[in-house]
């Protein structure tokens, strides 16, 4: 709250995000009521069993990896926000999905608020997404947008992007937080009232937030984040919020000239450029939703005279790395004091589960003693503060995936299950694992 007009919010430092509100009614108590009569036509409570189970009728988007992240497809009447940095492929994904839906007879309307219809047609041609059932209109005015929906009654509505839509009846300039919120709120109401599956594209601001400071997250049903390195073809799709399913699934795409393609074998892709017998490199299997994924954890240990050596973690949790370095030192006698430590997950994946602990610790140890871990070895397990190793969920499935990709040896905790065609080396502690991997200093 601010007692006077301010152009910029002192808390979130966003321009134009403050809106004037009167609290005269609250102060006088005039709005307080204990008895009221429902006006005619208002919604009445019903038994929950009498409610239409719309969730059961999810509609596939025709894009396998998008369906995977959505838990099967789009729920009618749901609102999904797709965010990502410029050039990530948001418009591409949207157009491919709409093209496919339209071809299957679903009435689709794409409102391009950023590009001309000609530009969108060119893209649709490149992606093979042309279809008579897909209507496009270039418009930025919210009242017009609602009129287009009223006139055409689409089943799926897509707006690219929500930042460029303008509501003349709300305060603020186009793209300002108050405008974005007002427009999104009206579109959500439209979606719920008419059961229109709605897809909104949102920009990511410089500090990485979706469409302003987490502005729309509460309003929409699902928030998807599109990530990747602009200079590489790999794109990753995560659900940050999903009211109809898990947020654990990871969608993987390859960006080609003719559009986004599902990555058929992600483990193979992540290990494609691995240098065999390299020091500081250890392969582990993580679980991304329902799918085990093989990734390479890399570490570099570089001596430094600096009093505060660097600890850098990319794709891994920095706190977890510090913890593992402390356990390595205190429980396994391997100290990296006086050296910078860099650890990363190759391929740009983000790993935030304990299953990669042992692999990270062994990668650091391998870099430190300058000896490689055998390249046919996969390492799976959590490291406890006492230096003990623990099993992580679904280790069997992770190992089977490793076996499929040609790994023949696994290092893990004592409870690691048997897997066909693989030698399992069971270790109770981190020290034992270091010995099993041939990484004990001075050996």
**Where do contacts with Mg ion occur on this chain (CB under 5 A)?**
91
The DSSP-derived string for 225-286 is: EEEE-TTSSEEEEEEEEETTS-S--EEEEEEETTEEEE-S-HHHHHHTTPPTT-BTEEEEEE
Contact 158, 98 (CB under 8 A): yes
Query: According to CB under 6 A, which one of 62, 71, 73, 84 is a site residue for ligand ATP?
Result: 84
Min separation Cβ 257 and ligand ATP, Å? 4
Q: What residues are paired with 288 via a beta bridge?
A: 291
CA distance 198 to 140: 16
Torsions phi, psi of 310, nearest 5? -80, 145
Say whether residue 202 binds ligand ATP (CB under 6 A).
no
Tell me which of Mg ion, ligand ATP, none is bound by residue 344, counting a contact when its beta carbon lies within the kind-specific cut-off of 5 to 8 angstroms. none
Query: According to CB under 6 A, which one of 87, 171, 319, 406 is a site residue for ligand ATP?
Result: 87
Farthest-apart Cα atoms in the chain, separation? 84
Tell me which of ligand ATP, Mg ion, none is bound by residue 87, counting a contact when its beta carbon lies within the kind-specific cut-off of 5 to 8 angstroms. ligand ATP
CA 154 from chain centre, in angstroms, equals: 28
Say whether residue 208 binds ligand ATP (CB under 6 A).
no
DSSP state of 377: E
Provide the b/e sequence for 270-296 (b: ≥16 CB within 10 Å): bbeebeeeebbbbbbbbbbbebbbbbb
Min separation Cβ 28 and ligand ATP, Å? 47
Min separation Cβ 123 and ligand ATP, Å? 7
Q: Which residue is nearest to Mg ion (CB)?
A: 91
For 153, the token pair is 């009654």
State the first-to-last Cα distance of the chain, in angstroms, to the nearest integer. Answer: 65
Min separation Cβ 61 and ligand ATP, Å? 15
CA distance 144 to 190: 13
For 322, the token pair is 């510090």
Say whether residue 251 binds ligand ATP (CB under 6 A).
no
- Using the contact rule CB under 6 A, the part of the chain among 27-35, 61-69, 81-89, 364-372 near ligand ATP is 81-89
Query: According to CB under 6 A, which one of 52, 207, 257, 420 is a site residue for ligand ATP?
Result: 257
Query: According to CB under 6 A, which one of 59, 68, 90, 331 is a site residue for ligand ATP?
Result: 90
For 198, the token pair is 């709605």
Select 204 or 379, whichever has its Cβ closest to Mg ion: 204
Min separation Cβ 250 and Mg ion, Å? 22
Say whether residue 43 binds ligand ATP (CB under 6 A).
no
Tell me which of ligand ATP, Mg ion, none is bound by residue 291, counting a contact when its beta carbon lies within the kind-specific cut-off of 5 to 8 angstroms. none
Q: What 3-state class would DSSP assign to 61?
A: coil
Min separation Cβ 142 and ligand ATP, Å? 20
Q: Which residues contact 307 (CB under 8 A, 6 or more apart)?
A: none
Tell me which of ligand ATP, Mg ion, none is bound by residue 88, counting a contact when its beta carbon lies within the kind-specific cut-off of 5 to 8 angstroms. ligand ATP
CA distance 146 to 127: 28
- Using the contact rule CB under 6 A, the part of the chain among 15-23, 73-81, 84-92, 367-375 near ligand ATP is 84-92
Say whether residue 151 binds ligand ATP (CB under 6 A).
no
Among candidate residues 136, 81, 130, the one with its CA nearest the CA of residue 108: 136
Say whether residue 86 binds ligand ATP (CB under 6 A).
yes
Say whether residue 255 binds ligand ATP (CB under 6 A).
yes
Q: Which residues contact 51 (CB under 8 A, 6 or more apart)?
A: none
Min separation Cβ 156 and ligand ATP, Å? 18
Select 66 or 339, whichever has its Cβ closest to ligand ATP: 66
For 272, the token pair is 């494609």
How many residues bind ligand ATP (CB under 6 A)? The answer is 12
Q: What 3-state class would DSSP assign to 126?
A: helix
CA distance 47 to 45: 7
Min separation Cβ 320 and ligand ATP, Å? 31
CA distance 20 to 22: 7
Min separation Cβ 178 and ligand ATP, Å? 22
Binding residues (CB under 6 A) for ligand ATP: these are 84, 86-92, 126, 230, 255, 257
């Amino acid at each position: 709250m601010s007692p006077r007009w301010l152009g910029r919010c002192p808390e979130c430092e966003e321009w134009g995000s403050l809106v004037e509100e009167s609290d005269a009614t609250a102060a006088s108590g005039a709005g307080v009521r204990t008895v009221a009569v429902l006006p005619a036509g208002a919604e009445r409570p019903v038994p929950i069993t009498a409610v239409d189970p719309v969730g059961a009728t999810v509609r596939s988007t025709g894009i396998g990896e998008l369906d995977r992240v959505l838990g099967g497809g789009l729920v009618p009447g749901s609102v999904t926000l797709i965010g990502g940095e410029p050039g990530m492929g948001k418009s591409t994904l949207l157009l491919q999905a709409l093209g496919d839906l339209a071809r299957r007879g679903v009435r689709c309307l794409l409102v391009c608020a950023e590009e001309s219809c000609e530009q969108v047609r060119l893209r649709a041609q490149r992606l093979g997404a042309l279809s008579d059932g897909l209507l496009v209109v270039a418009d930025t005015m919210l009242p017009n947008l609602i009129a287009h929906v009223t006139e055409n009654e689409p089943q799926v509505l897509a707006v690219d992007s929500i930042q460029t839509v303008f509501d003349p009846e709300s305060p603020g300039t186009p793209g300002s937080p108050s405008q974005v919120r007002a427009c999104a709120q009206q579109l959500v109401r439209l979606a719920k009232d008419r059961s229109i599956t709605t897809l909104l594209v949102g920009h990511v601001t410089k500090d990485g937030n979706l469409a302003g400071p987490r502005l729309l997250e509460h309003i929409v049903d699902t928030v998807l984040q599109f990530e990747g390195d602009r200079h590489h073809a790999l794109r990753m799709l995560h659900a940050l919020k999903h009211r109809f399913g898990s947020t654990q699934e990871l969608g993987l795409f390859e960006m080609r000239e003719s559009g986004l393609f599902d990555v058929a074998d992600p483990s193979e892709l992540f290990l494609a450029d691995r240098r065999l017998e390299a020091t500081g490199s250890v392969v582990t299997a993580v679980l991304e939703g329902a799918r085990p994924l093989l990734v390479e954890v890399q570490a570099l240990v570089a001596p430094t005279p600096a009093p505060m050596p660097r600890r850098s973690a990319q794709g891994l949790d920095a706190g977890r790395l510090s913890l593992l370095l402390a356990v390595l030192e205190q429980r396994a006698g391997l100290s990296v004091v006086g050296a910078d430590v860099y650890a990363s997950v190759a391929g740009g994946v983000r790993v935030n589960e304990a299953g990669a602990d042992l692999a990270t610790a062994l990668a650091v140890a391998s870099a430190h003693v300058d000896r490689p871990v055998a390249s046919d070895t996969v390492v799976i397990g959590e490291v406890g503060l006492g230096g003990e190793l623990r099993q992580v969920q679904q280790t069997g499935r992770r190992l089977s995936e490793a076996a499929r990709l040609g790994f023949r040896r696994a290092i893990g905790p004592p409870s690691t299950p048997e897997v066909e065609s693989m030698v399992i080396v069971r270790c109770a502690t981190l020290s034992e694992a270091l010995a099993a991997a041939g990484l004990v200093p001075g050996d």
